[in-house]
Amino acid sequence: MARPVEYDRDTVLTQAIRVFARHGYEAASTRDLTEGMGMARQSLYGAFGDKHGLFLEALRSYSARSLAQIQVALNAGNPCLDALEAALLVGLGNAEDLESGCLGLSSIMEFSRSDPDVSAQNDLAGRATIAAFAARIGQGIEEGEVTAGTDPNAAGRLMLTLRSGLKIAARAGATDPELRATARLALSAICARAG
């Protein structure tokens, strides 16, 4: 009996994320996935069940990695403005690398609210991202770096919305200085030292 091919799950999920980011869910063929992941069809289905199962695991992995990047930026010990700016700008992707797009945003655009599993994962990721921003904004309020009276949760939702827009702008070709200037302008609404 032949031994099953061994693979590193994180590595193949990273490769699946890139395939789905390039093609979207519906347009990503089994061939695209097997070639992109370096797995045989049988191994892919044996490991993930089906394309939908693979997509959900890739989306969970992408969301966890994105949140981890944001949390590192927010908790690096920098002043609040710098921490928020870094968190807004980390991992945006770009127009030159079609596989650097945001899997979360593309899944929202492709599925809207039609797939309960995808919606649940995106809702969970959104809540976690808002909470991370809100916690840092709350700390900024205590330290006098964020305008007193700012609602941390509303500001966290603003940061999530802004980050989503920045990802789209980056994918459309906005330059790093343009993205940074946009983030700074938005942060000037809540931070005492911005602009």
Does residue 95 belong to any structural domain of this protein?
yes
Judged against a pLDDT cut of 90, whether residue 97 lies above it is answered with no
pLDDT grade for 192, boundaries at 50, 70 and 90: low
- Please tell me the total count of domains within the chain: 1
For the ranges 34-38, 98-102, 131-135, the lowest mean pLDDT is seen at 98-102
| Domain encompassing residue 135 | 62-187
Q: Please indicate, yes or no, if residue 3 is contained in any of the structural domains.
A: no
- 41 C-beta neighbours (distance < 10 Å), count: 11
Residue 137 lies in a domain: yes
- For position 193, what pLDDT does the model report? 56
Residues ≥6 apart with Cβ < 8 Å to 31: none
Backbone region of residue 112 per phi and psi (left: phi > 0; alpha: psi in -120 to 50; beta: other values): left
pLDDT tens digit string along 71-85?
999 999 999 999 999
Q: How far apart are CA 74 and CA 145, in angstroms?
A: 14
Q: Is residue 166 part of a domain?
A: yes
CATH code for the domain of 133? 1.10.357.10
The residue with greater pLDDT, 163 or 7, is 163
Does residue 168 lie in a domain region? yes
> Angle at the Cα of 13 (from 7 to 14), degrees rounded to 5?
110
Q: What is the C-alpha to C-alpha distance for residues 59 and 111, in angstroms, rounded to an integer? A: 13
Mean pLDDT, to the nearest integer, of 53-82?
Answer: 96
pTM of the prediction? 0.92
The answer to the question of residue 99 being in a domain is yes
